[in-house]
């Protein structure tokens, strides 16, 4: 069987790759670090099994499933691998091929792969439809976050936020129009905004990668990010490696130090 692993955590991808290498019934496998890359891979070739994370930057695992019907190849059997048991695990257990909770043990992954191998293409398609019926994503709810501002609770679309900057014991969330000053730590905000495409470029700054359109190399090997709204952000050396998360592929950038 052919397996595609989709997970934004490098350690998880490496662990699953090592596990798949041990199985004689795995003809080959590929790795994708987010759902968009997985969709591109699925357009190019077919797979029998999809080992799929739920929470990833940009497109989630569940949203990826909604796009499987548009792929030219038969839908693979899906095994969810997630650290979030609260996301309708009971429904996954009844309707999906299988689910495995992180941190996983190899035995559970092997069991899930054995189940997936036995499923026919028709069964896979039927079960995927059942999963979508039981766990229907509401895009407007997925992207919305609630914040307290001036004695009221405001619901905003997280994808409209441009940056988060530390100001003492507060964090300033910058939006296209307006900003919000919250009593929060950068560590806490970074964890909450990570699923929405934010990367940390400085101890005190997070930037939404969707708004970045240019990387400029400054003096001393420092980098400056320019957004499509005209704002620029300086990247500290400690977080320079995070710039790799701005793009899926780096072409012809060998001398730029980001490959």
Domain identity same for 128 and 177: no
Q: Is the pLDDT of residue 259 over 60?
A: no
Domain identity same for 155 and 133: no
Domain identity same for 39 and 132: yes
Helix axes 61-68, 121-134, angle to 10 degrees: 130
Domain identity same for 7 and 124: yes
Pick the more confident residue, 98 or 13.
13
Domain identity same for 235 and 152: yes
Number of domains within the chain: 2
Domain identity same for 228 and 244: yes
Tens digits of residue pLDDT in 27-68: 999 999 999 999 999 988 989 899 989 888 888 888 888 787
Domain identity same for 149 and 133: no
Which band of pLDDT confidence, cut at 50, 70 and 90, is reported for residue 10?
very high
Q: Is 197 left (phi over 0), alpha (psi -120 to 50) or beta?
A: left
Domain identity same for 209 and 115: no
Pick the more confident residue, 227 or 65.
227
Domain identity same for 183 and 155: yes
Q: Is the pLDDT of residue 94 over 50?
A: no
Last residue of a domain, one of 137, 162, 181: 137
Domain identity same for 152 and 234: yes
What pLDDT shows up at residue 257? 60
CATH of the domain at 107: 3.40.50.2300
Q: Name the average pLDDT for the chain.
A: 83
CATH of the domain at 243: 2.40.50.1020
Range of the domain at 75: 2-137
Domain identity same for 50 and 161: no
Domain identity same for 96 and 29: yes
């Amino acid at each position: 069987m052919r397996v595609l692993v989709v997970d934004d955590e490098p350690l998880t991808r490496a662990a699953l790759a090592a596990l798949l290498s041990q199985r004689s019934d795995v003809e080959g496998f590929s790795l994708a670090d987010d759902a968009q890359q997985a969709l591109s891979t699925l357009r190019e070739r077919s797979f029998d099994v999809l080992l799929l994370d739920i929470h990833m930057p940009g497109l989630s695992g569940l949203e990826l499933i909604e796009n499987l019907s548009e792929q030219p190849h038969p839908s693979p059997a899906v095994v969810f691998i997630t650290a979030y048991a609260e996301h309708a695990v009971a429904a996954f257990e009844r309707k999906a091929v299988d689910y495995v909770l992180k941190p996983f043990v190899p035995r559970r992954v092997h069991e899930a792969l054995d189940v997936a191998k036995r499923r026919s293409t028709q069964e896979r398609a039927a079960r995927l439809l059942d999963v979508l019926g039981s766990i229907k994503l509401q895009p407007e709810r997925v992207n919305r976050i609630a914040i307290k501002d001036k004695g009221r609770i405001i619901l905003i679309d997280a994808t409209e936020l441009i940056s988060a900057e530390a100001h003492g014991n507060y964090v300033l969330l910058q939006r296209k129009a307006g900003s919000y000053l919250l009593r929060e730590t950068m560590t806490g905000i970074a964890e909450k905004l990570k699923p929405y495409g934010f990367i940390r470029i400085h101890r005190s700054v997070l930037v939404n990668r969707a708004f970045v359109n240019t990387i400029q190399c400054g003096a001393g090997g420092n980098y400056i990010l320019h957004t499509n709204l005209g704002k620029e952000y300086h990247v500290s050396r400690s977080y320079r490696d995070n710039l790799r998360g701005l793009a899926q592929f780096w072409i012809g950038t060998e001398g730029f130090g980001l490959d």
